[in-house]
Structure formats: C-alpha cells, structure tokens
Amino acid sequence: MDQRPSSPPGDPAAPDEVVTVYDAAGAVIGTAPRSRVYAEGLWHASAGVLLRSMDGSRVYVHRRSPDKAVFAGMHDCLAGGVVDPGESPGETAVRELAEELGVTGVELSPIAQVRWDGRWDGKPLRCHLFAFEGRYDGPISHQASEIVDGWWWTDAELRAHLADPAWAFVPDTRALLAGYFA
C-alpha cells in the first residue's frame, strides 16, 4: 500500500494519519492514509471499549464531535478508533480509551468481533471491528476534538435507544454489539 501522506477532507494543510489496511479475511496487507482508506473503501480495523461502572449496572454513552470525519455528531457507547500500524486491536482499545475519555489502568476483556461491510456518505466503509469491556467509576475527561458530551445509562436505557432505528447511533457499533445487548 502507498504510505505517502495525503490531506484529509476539509483541511488540505493537515497531515493525514496512516492506518493499517487489511484484506476482507482480516489479514494485515499494508498501510494507507486514512483519507484514502475512507475514499476507496479499503478494509481496515477499529477497536473500542464499552466502559461499564464498577458494579456493571451502567454503560458510558457519548455524542461524537460534529467535526469527526465519520459518523459525525452521532451517539456511541464505545470509545475507540482505527488500528494504527504495528498495533493490535487490544493496544488500540487501551490507547483510544485514554485519548477519548482520559481513562487509564483499566483491565479490558474482549466481548465482540465482527466484519462490517457498511456504507458512509455514499461510499463503502469496510472494517474489522473489535469490542472490549472495562469497568471504571473514576472521572471522565473528554477529548474535545472527539466527544462533545457523555453520560451513564443502564443497559435498559441503551437497549431502548438502540431499538429505535431513527436514533442517531453509529452503525458499526450497532452491528458490532447486536448480540451483546439482545
């Protein structure tokens, strides 16, 4: 894969993050700029963390920034992002939890994995998705460029919103956790 940087949509002067590219079966085949991955629908991977309260009764839900390149302004219950070159999905989950919510030192357990061949903004969006779960009751510190608001919900509250197809929730997390909240 080409590793030359290119500019993301909307900011031609900004450097473009390089991410790991996979084949449809889940094998790493190279790297490419994120903008190219999204523009061409290249397979990549993403990992996220479902953060629960220590007693397991609540799940942290947040609203994504309106400036995000994908699923802008939508709700999500995973703090996560794309797998960078040289990272495992577990390492990505730890990094993203710290970056997006300011949460560190939490033990993570894998809870779901799915191959998602979806669409965003009229283009294919293909991703191997990995979900982990962690328990935490400490302070949350949002990364302003990623998250604009967040709150704790019970599973019942989250399930009720997920059952509403009109609720603006990221579709890849919906697919990844379809069996988890059933």
Q: Which of 14-18, 25-29, 71-75 has the lowest mean pLDDT?
A: 14-18
- In angstroms, the CA 21 to CA 141 distance is 30
Q: Which residue has the tokens 């998250």?
A: 147
User: What's the average model confidence in pLDDT over 165-178?
Assistant: 93
**Sorting pLDDT into bands at 50, 70 and 90, what band is 15?**
low
Which of 87, 92, 85 shows the shortest CA–CA distance to 30? 85
Contact assessment for residue 41 and residue 121, using Cβ atoms and an 8 Å cutoff:
no
Please report the pLDDT score of residue 126 as a whole number: 97
User: What's the average model confidence in pLDDT over 169-173?
Assistant: 94
User: What's the average model confidence in pLDDT over 151-162?
Assistant: 95
Contact assessment for residue 77 and residue 158, using Cβ atoms and an 8 Å cutoff:
yes
* Residue 88 CA neighbour count, 13 Å, CB half: 5
Contact assessment for residue 68 and residue 146, using Cβ atoms and an 8 Å cutoff:
yes
Q: Is the pLDDT of residue 45 over 70?
A: yes
Q: What's the pLDDT tens digit per position in 121-143?
A: 899 999 999 999 999 999 999 99
